Copies of this chain bind each other. A is one copy, B any other.
Amino acid sequence: MTNFDETRSRFQIPDGVIYLDGNSLGPLPRGVQARAAEVMQHDWGTQLITAWNKAGWMDLPRRVGDRVGGLIGAPAGSVVMGDTLSVKVFQALSAALKLSGDRKVILSDTGNFPSDLYMAQGLIAALDQGHQLRTVAPEAVTEALSEDVAVLMLTHVDYRTGRMHDMAALTQKAQALGIVVIWDLAHSAGAVPVDLTGAGPEFAVGCTYKYLNGGPGAPAFIYVRPDLQDTAFPVLSGWLGHEAPFAFDADYRPAAGIERMRCGTPPVIQMSVLDAALDAWDGVTIAEVRAQSIALSQRFIAAVEAACPDLTLVSPRDPLQRGSQVSFAFEHGYPAMQALIARGVIGDFRAPDIMRFGITPLYLSADDIDAAAAQLAAIVNDRLWDSDQYRARNAVT
**What's the nearest-Cβ distance from chain B to residue A17, in Å?**
7
List, in ascending order, chain B residues with CB within 8 A of A21's CB: 48-49
Known: A14-B46, A45-B14, A87-B236. A121 touches B252 (CB 8 A): yes
B44 touches A252 (CB 8 A): no
In the complex, which residue of chain B has the Cβ closest to the Cβ of A239? B115
Q: Does A127 contact B (CB under 8 A)?
A: yes
Q: Could you write out 15 A-B pairs with CB less than 8 Å apart?
A: A14-B45, A52-B216, A82-B84, A115-B264, A117-B251, A118-B239, A118-B242, A118-B251, A119-B237, A119-B238, A125-B235, A126-B127, A220-B264, A267-B270, A269-B270
Q: Could you give, for residues 265-294 of chain A, a 1 whenever the CB lies within 8 Å of some chain B CB and a 0 otherwise?
A: 111111101000000000000000000000
In the complex, which residue of chain B has the Cβ closest to the Cβ of A234? B122
**What's the nearest-Cβ distance from chain B to residue A312, in Å?**
19
B268 touches A216 (CB 8 A): yes
In the complex, which residue of chain B has the Cβ closest to the Cβ of A263? B86
Neighbour of A45 across the interface among B12, B219, B264, CB < 8 A: B12
The segment from A34-42, A66-74, A194-202, A378-386 that touches chain B is A34-42
Residues in A lying within 8 Å of B, measured CB to CB:
12, 14, 17, 19, 21, 24-25, 27-28, 32-33, 36-37, 40-41, 44-46, 48-52, 57, 82-87, 90, 94, 110, 113-115, 117-119, 121-123, 125-129, 135, 207, 209, 215-220, 233-240, 242, 246-252, 263-271, 273, 341, 346, 348, 350-351
State in angstroms the CA–CA spacing of A115 and B348 once bound together.
41
Neighbour of A119 across the interface among B25, B236, B249, CB < 8 A: B236
**What's the nearest-Cβ distance from chain B to residue A101, in Å?**
13
Q: A115-B238, A117-B250, A121-B251 are in contact. List 20 more A-B contacts (CB 8 A).
A: A14-B46, A19-B48, A28-B40, A36-B37, A51-B216, A82-B84, A83-B84, A84-B264, A87-B87, A87-B238, A87-B264, A94-B126, A118-B239, A122-B252, A126-B127, A215-B268, A216-B268, A217-B269, A218-B267, A267-B270
